Chain A
């Protein structure tokens, strides 16, 4: 008799515990799991500084968002994206597009840029014929590659090839201020 009571009591207690556990109202706070928090801005590394023209350095452009673009006149996709850069530059006069060409001579480079007419003032063209910046410093071997550098000269993101349409509304919206 006593054993029967013990057994029954245990089962009832267990049932009660189970019921209470299951029916406990779920408050949103208790069961929410925060989505992955984006990496803190502080952890973005600083893009290495370089001189792209006599007396002109990347660090001079601090305070502005910079799109560092490596291109060449013999690169097909570069032809496609250049007009997009022009439209982007016109839409966002507060950013700078620093387009470094790895052509071995000025003539080829100038021929390329001239074919697009007058460029907006926030597009800077410079030549890095020996690829000291493009390859030795930034490791770029294939073209085009574009690096998004924010106003604090931090490396934010790299775009390989024609990953985005530079003049599209979606891209412009992702650019930091």
Chain B
């Protein structure tokens, strides 16, 4: 510290001091209040992105105010500096120091989680095996050949006016329009004549943008696009198409192969396979309310297979992934399990932080009683 120039030292001292905290805490409380109320109107996903997972947000659209990352980052920085530079390990202060250290670890865990965590879900039918996890929010435009994924474009890059090229394929897409939450209508409802240019689904249906669902996972994203530049036998496939999430794929025949364009949630592949042997939902007798759920699965990792049970409040952890029993679906005569899958490198830090914080506060209360100072 003594090696640093004086203004920097003053600044660091101010950061580590109580004055910053005095203004930081009410700001944080206000932010949390606003972000909580906002959830009722725009849903958790948007509220979180706007207020908590941002450095700055624009109140009323124009006034820049500090966001969650900024406030919590400052808080963590301030506390860490205080801990490193100012905390003395006397008997009276030992508890406090531990408590502060616990809080630092908590926030460190939070930072790592927000940067690295990957959340998603897996839906498996009884008797089937899967290694695909789909993201909750991230959508992408995929080019597939049967079950092989050839290329994937994140939805954020699919914007009206852009052109997408797929390397290795004579395919060029011009994006005409996109919708975050699409309203799908029949063309026959409107009085416009069906243009010759329309292909596939677009001949019968049209999509338009509508109000986004507060539950972001429920939004049906979609896009309208043009293909041109195909020649020879494939020429008649040039035209205008529509594509929307969970809708039929756009099939194209190029160079003798059948390729499909699909819009859906981002898929990630696990380094092992999960087979669902049985999923059970136990109801309270005489009611439809679920008492408990569990899935009996078999994990196959290379040559090794072993059974496991995943239940509510009893997740499975393996190789950095954690599987949680999320819900249960019934389709015709098939039962499916929905498992939440999370990969989080910083997962242990909050546990450690909580433990140390609890010990620190307990020590502080006890030590104070022994000394009984104000």
Contact = CB atoms under 8 A, between A and B. Distances in A.
Interface string A1-34: 0111011001100110110011100111001110
A35 B89 CA distance: 54
A15 B317 CA distance: 16
A121 to B, nearest CB: 41
Contact of B347 (A4, A18, A33): A18
Given A3-B83, A7-B83, A18 B348 contact: yes
B369 interface: no
Contacts of A2: 89
B105 A28 contact: no
Contacts of A10: 101, 105, 352, 356
User: How large, as a class, is the contact surface on chain B?
Assistant: 20 to 34
Interface stretch (B58-66, B117-125, B200-208, B301-309): B301-309
B83 A14 contact: no
B104 A7 contact: yes
Contact of B319 (A17, A22, A27, A28): A22
Contacts of A4: 84
B296 A6 contact: no
Contacts of B308: 26, 31-33
Interface residues of A, number: 21
Contacts of A6: 101
A28 B306 contact: yes
B87 interface: yes
A133 B320 CA distance: 63
A33 B317 contact: no
B108 interface: yes
B316 to A, nearest CB: 8
B318 interface: yes
B349 interface: yes
B296 A33 contact: yes
Of the listed residues A3, A21, A31, the one surrounded by the most CB atoms of chain B closer than 10 A to its CB is A3
A23 B321 CA distance: 11
Contacts of B97: 3
Contacts of A11: 105, 108, 349
Nearest to A35: B296
B34 to A, nearest CB: 33
A31 B108 CA distance: 32
A11 B349 CA distance: 8
8 contacts: A3-B84, A7-B80, A10-B101, A22-B317, A28-B306, A31-B307, A31-B316, A33-B309
Interface of A: 2-4, 6-7, 10-11, 14-15, 17-18, 21-23, 26-28, 31-33, 35
Given A10-B105, A14-B352, 18 more contacts: A3-B84, A3-B85, A3-B97, A4-B84, A7-B80, A7-B83, A10-B101, A11-B105, A11-B349, A14-B348, A15-B348, A18-B347, A18-B348, A21-B317, A22-B318, A22-B319, A33-B296, A35-B278
Interface of B: 80, 83-85, 87, 89, 97, 101, 104-105, 108, 278, 296, 299, 306-309, 316-320, 347-349, 352, 356
